[in-house]
Structure formats: structure tokens, C-alpha cells
């Protein structure tokens, strides 16, 4: 897998060889470290919150503006995580075939807000990618959303988890 990442980076760098040749050694070193940090951050985010889409991708998929996405986040019908120069939206909250936000998303966010108030979206996203052995038979909430039409147990699991966190 690391080889594929390196191949992708090299392919991008080959397209701008002339500009790279004009950099000082220090500038090149700083850019290399910055690129490495961005790759490492993307891997870490993916481990914590699962697959995600950026603001532009979600706005295009839903056919709405960035402002509409921000309004949905504030209202609790969409989960967005602040990133560098964008907001990241966990994929599990979307029905990508129907190009819409799954209604259960608002119910999950509401469960977290009910017990924890103004909750950090990273907490909700990381809960959604963590196996819930007791409540969901070892499935993660994101897997449950994808595979089961009845979300009652999922919402109950969110309430139990947030009630424990609120103690």
C-alpha cells in the first residue's frame, strides 16, 4: 500500500519538474515534509472516522451550496468535521446511490446532543467506526447503517454510549 502512495506522489511531482528544479534545497525539504504530514494526517483521519468526502464533493453530490451544508451541520442533520481548508463528511451518513443524507444521521447526532450538548463531531464520527460489541453484535454503527434497514437498535446504542460518556 505504501508503494502505491509513493507512486502517486512521484506521478504528481513529475508533472511539475521544472518548478521543482527552481526550489532551494530548504524549500524542497519543507515541501517534502509538508506533503508527508498531509499524507500521514489523511491516513490518521481515515482510521479514526472512516471514509470521507470533502465539502466540494458533498455539495456536488447533494446539489446544494456550501452554505446549505453549513446550515445542515448547525441544525444537526449532517455531520461535518473541520479540516484544513475544507470540511470532511463521513461517507456512512450518505446514500450515495440516491444522492442524499440518510435520515438516521439526524437521529444519531440528536442522541449525542441530548446527552452531551454541543458535541465534537469527531466523537460522533469515531463512535460510528468503532465496533459496538454489546449493542450491535460487534458491528460498527457505520456497518449497521449500510446493512440493516431498522435503525432502532442503532439509535438505542447511541443513547447508551452517550449516557455513559455524560457520567
- Beta-carbon neighbour count of residue 37 at 10 Å? 10
Task: Identify the pLDDT of residue 51.
Answer: 86
Query: Where would I find the beta strands (DSSP E) of the chain?
Result: 52-54, 81-82, 87-90, 94-95, 100-101
Residue 90 near residue 15 (C-beta atoms within 8 A): no
Burial tier of 125 (Cβ tally within 10 Å: 0-12, 13-18, 19+): buried
In the chain (167 residues long), the average pLDDT of successive 10-residue segments reads 69 80 83 68 61 94 97 96 90 95 96 93 93 93 90 95 90
Q: Is this structure's pTM higher than 0.85?
A: no
Amino acid at each position: 500500500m505504501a508503494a502505491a502512495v509513493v507512486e502517486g506522489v512521484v506521478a504528481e511531482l513529475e508533472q511539475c519538474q521544472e518548478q521543482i528544479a527552481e526550489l532551494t534545497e530548504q524549500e524542497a525539504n519543507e515541501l517534502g515534509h509538508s506533503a508527508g504530514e498531509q499524507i500521514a494526517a489523511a491516513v490518521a483521519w481515515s482510521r479514526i472516522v472512516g471514509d470521507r468526502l470533502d465539502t466540494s464533493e458533498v455539495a456536488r453530490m447533494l446539489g446544494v451550496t456550501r452554505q446549505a451544508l453549513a446550515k445542515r451541520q448547525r441544525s444537526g442533520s449532517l455531520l461535518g468535521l473541520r479540516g484544513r481548508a475544507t470540511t470532511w463528511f463521513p461517507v456512512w451518513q450518505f446514500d450515495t446511490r440516491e444522492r442524499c443524507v440518510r435520515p438516521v444521521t439526524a437521529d444519531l447526532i440528536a442522541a449525542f446532543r441530548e446527552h452531551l450538548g454541543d458535541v465534537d463531531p469527531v466523537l460522533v464520527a469515531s463512535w460510528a467506526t468503532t465496533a459496538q460489541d454489546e449493542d450491535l453484535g460487534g458491528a460498527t454503527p457505520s456497518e449497521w447503517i449500510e446493512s440493516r434497514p431498522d435503525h432502532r437498535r442503532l439509535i438505542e446504542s447511541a443513547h447508551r454510549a452517550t449516557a455513559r460518556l455524560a457520567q
